[in-house]
Structure 1
Amino acid sequence: MRLNVPLTGAPEVDAVREVIESGYLTQGAKTAAFEDSIRAYTSARHAAAVSSATTGLHLALVALGVQPGDEVVIPGFSFPATANAVIQQGAIPVFVDIDAATFNLDPALLEAAITDRTRAIMPVHAFGLCADMDAITAVAERRGLPVLEDAACALGGTYDGRHAGTLGTAGVYSFHPRKIITTAEGGMITTDDDTLAARISVLRAHGAVRGELFMEFVDAGFNYRLSDVHSAIGLAQMTRIDEIVSGRRRAAAALTSRVAGIAGVQAPTEPAGTAHTFQSYVVRLDDDIDRDEVIRRMRTRDVETTLGTYGMHLQPYFRERFAIPDAALPETTRAHHQALTLPLYPQLTDDDLDTVAEALRLSVWESPRR
């Protein structure tokens, strides 16, 4: 059983065929329509399609004025693309530990991480669960800092009724095949800031402004555009986003009811006022359970699993460059070793969920204790 299977079919195939037959493949009308669909869905004022969430984060940091040597505060527990986007701008990621229950940046630790070189705060909505944005934005406003949401996993998630990606200065979604909707590869930046949106638009396409007859290049920009081929897939996906999100939430609730009684396994949490997308269904194993051995044993039962995500300070590049001791990020370190992602997607049947839960129960029971 695979970890994730995108919900795609004939509408996506037909959408791609239409673009190919049109002869116009690069960023064009389909991309504009895809941006419109994200604006309508999230109520964001602006949306700019980009080639990936990683390029979207980088582009947003550039547009926000982050310079080499500046600092950007991020959670320690995330896919390394979060930190990579900061480093690509020549800036310095400052890792903050996470809340043990939510896997999100712990806002109680945020103030202490801010220095006179801090230029932005970049929370991650881990696995589709919104971070504690009221607490984070309160600190940001007090310190005069923009908040860039890494909402890669969170399209369709909400916080007090507002969409993830619209809670800060700007937000970035991912459309990788493991995310909520897919364009194969791609991303989207959302913002309500007119000036920021205009700068993103220029920087996204080589720093160019189109005149009556040709383009003028007013900045040293990037080629971070999304093609109409990818956008056509995204448009087809957006027609079923409510089905996808509700299907993931239904499957998550059903899986939680099955794993809740397994000794040593802590199911995901959903704080009041939030709606989790469950882009990934991540449990936490007790500290005496060998998570990696559980992954191996699940594999023998033909159930694909993986770690939750990465304690970035534990990865070779970040460890060698920043030398952050494990004790400085204790919950991040623990989550890196004990979080486990289980299969979850709308197509799973009740029998499939039974199989996942039983495989987990047996694999945890068989795994040697530390």
Structure 2
Amino acid sequence: MSDTGPEGTAPRAASVGRAGPRPAAAGAGQERAGIRLARPDVGEAELAAVADVLATGQLTMGPQVEAFEAGLAHAVGTAEAVAVSSGTAAIHLALLALGIGEGDEVIVPAYTFPATANAVELCRGRAVLVDVDPETFLARPELVAEAVTRRTRAVLAVHLFGRPVEWEELQTAVPQEVVLLEDAAGALGATYRGTSCGALGLMGCLSFHPRKIVTTGEGGAVTTDEAELAGAVRRLRHHGITAGGFDIPAPGLNYRLADVLCALGIPQLERLDALLDARERVAGWYTERLEPLVGTPGASEGDRHGWQAYVVTLDRRDEALAGLRAEGIEAQIGTYAVNRLSAYRDRGAFPGADAAFARALALPFAATLTEDDVDRVTTALARFV
């Protein structure tokens, strides 16, 4: 999911803290409170967990990292989870663990947050863009099949905004020797036919940015059933140092996630189901009001959406974006058409990605949003449809 605004601008940072008492309705001469794009659901439990870590004096490389990893592995249903400093770091390390390098191709959707493609290029591989369905925002499996060459090492499947990829169609589209990886940055809690996103591919890559269902401020993780790959990711996140601490067989990076940040995430992870239920409730309010007016998001039958964001499609997107912001309602583009960015303009034409980029609008979305908030957003949006 996009964490920055259109063409290099950035939204105001999502604030931390559970919603407090609602302010009184605005009267004459009284300004209405703004509605944030996102607000993490954190409070006393997270404050206490962070305070406990601060009291120990061990802020990194301590027991909270292992506890957070164990909780993640349980939530996703994989044998291993490795916490790292961001979702981008997770993708980068997953690719490095596979040995992706110069001359290797990795297939990436043309409509995604640029980190997906950037991580491939930073490994000196080539991000091969494929077009998406502008309604689901997901890569089209038949185009993935057409993009495979003898240099193709992997496909990075993006569960964009929390909607699960059609996994069986994707598996059928590529040869067995092509590795399927998941960019599940916004899909913690989502499921495809009963299997958690993050447990479908050889490795899954998660993000814990403040717009995600569980946040550590900044952070990410790699999930996998393969102990050897998990071990490689652990070495690479810690400069390449071996478990014994006396050798570096290959250079690595400092992509560690601090104990104090893991402590922030653990209480949220413990109530993941409740957080997802709350987001589903807010999504339901939006859909009930907007389904007759704009394109609304959802998941395929048998799947569970992760609801990282609520992203609609409409023709007058730019007008709606400006109009909502003028009323104190934070909104944002969906994410980027990667092919429109200067670094990737040589990759071809992608009309589906272009259409998604032009029409997608992310509305304020959080577990703490009230039905009154949703009424205010949808009333304002209705003026532009």
Confirm or deny a common fold (TM above 0.5). yes
Match of 1:81 among 81, 98, 115: 115
Name the residue aligned to 1:194.
Answer: 227
Match of 1:317 among 343, 359, 366: 343
Is residue 306 from structure 1 mapped to residue 337 from structure 2 by the alignment? Answer: no
| Matches of 1:30 and 1:361, distance apart in 2 | 46
> 1:317 Cα shift?
2.5
The answer on whether the counterparts of 2:129 and 2:347 sit within 8 Å (CA) in structure 1 is no
The amino acid across from 1:98 in the alignment is V
The answer on whether the counterparts of 1:101 and 1:269 sit within 8 Å (CA) in structure 2 is no
| Matches of 2:119 and 2:213, distance apart in 1 | 21
Is residue 6 from structure 1 mapped to residue 40 from structure 2 by the alignment? Answer: yes
> 1:323 Cα shift?
5.2
After superposition, residues 10-89 of structure 1 pair within 5 angstroms as: 10-89=44-123
After superposition, residues 76-115 of structure 1 pair within 5 angstroms as: 76-115=110-149
Is residue 276 from structure 1 mapped to residue 318 from structure 2 by the alignment? Answer: no
Match of 1:236 among 254, 267, 270: 267
Bigger fraction of residues in helix: 1
> Alpha-carbon deviations, 1:109-147, whole Å to 9, x = none?
11110111111100100100111111112233x241111
Name the residue aligned to 2:381.
Answer: 360
> Alpha-carbon deviations, 1:180-236, whole Å to 9, x = none?
11000000100011221221122221111233xx53222211111111011101112
SS at match of 1:248: helix
The answer on whether the counterparts of 1:127 and 1:281 sit within 8 Å (CA) in structure 2 is yes
The answer on whether the counterparts of 2:135 and 2:356 sit within 8 Å (CA) in structure 1 is no
Is residue 255 from structure 1 mapped to residue 280 from structure 2 by the alignment? Answer: no
TM-score normalised over the length of structure 1: 0.92
The root-mean-square deviation of aligned C-alpha atoms, in Å, is 1.2
* Residue segments in structure 2 that go unaligned for 5+ positions in a row: 1-34
* Residue segments in structure 1 that go unaligned for 5+ positions in a row: 366-370
SS at match of 2:127: strand
Is residue 207 from structure 1 mapped to residue 207 from structure 2 by the alignment? Answer: no
Name the residue aligned to 1:347.
Answer: 368
| Matches of 1:210 and 1:65, distance apart in 2 | 20
> Alpha-carbon deviations, 1:212-269, whole Å to 9, x = none?
xx5322221111111101110111211221111111111101110011222xx11113
| Matches of 1:5 and 1:220, distance apart in 2 | 38
| Matches of 1:210 and 1:352, distance apart in 2 | 50
Is residue 165 from structure 1 mapped to residue 198 from structure 2 by the alignment? Answer: yes
Match of 1:225 among 256, 277, 293: 256
> 1:315 Cα shift?
1.6
SS at match of 1:217: coil
> 1:329 Cα shift?
0.9
> Alpha-carbon deviations, 1:315-355, whole Å to 9, x = none?
22322xx253xxx2111000001111111111111111111
| Matches of 1:169 and 1:323, distance apart in 2 | 26
Name the residue aligned to 1:120.
Answer: 154
| Matches of 2:216 and 2:193, distance apart in 1 | 28
| Matches of 1:38 and 1:115, distance apart in 2 | 35
| Matches of 1:323 and 1:85, distance apart in 2 | 16
Q: How many residues matched?
A: 351
The answer on whether the counterparts of 1:137 and 1:168 sit within 8 Å (CA) in structure 2 is no
| Matches of 2:379 and 2:133, distance apart in 1 | 29
The answer on whether the counterparts of 1:204 and 1:222 sit within 8 Å (CA) in structure 2 is yes
| Matches of 1:117 and 1:323, distance apart in 2 | 16
SS at match of 2:329: coil
| Matches of 1:323 and 1:120, distance apart in 2 | 17
| Matches of 2:193 and 2:41, distance apart in 1 | 28
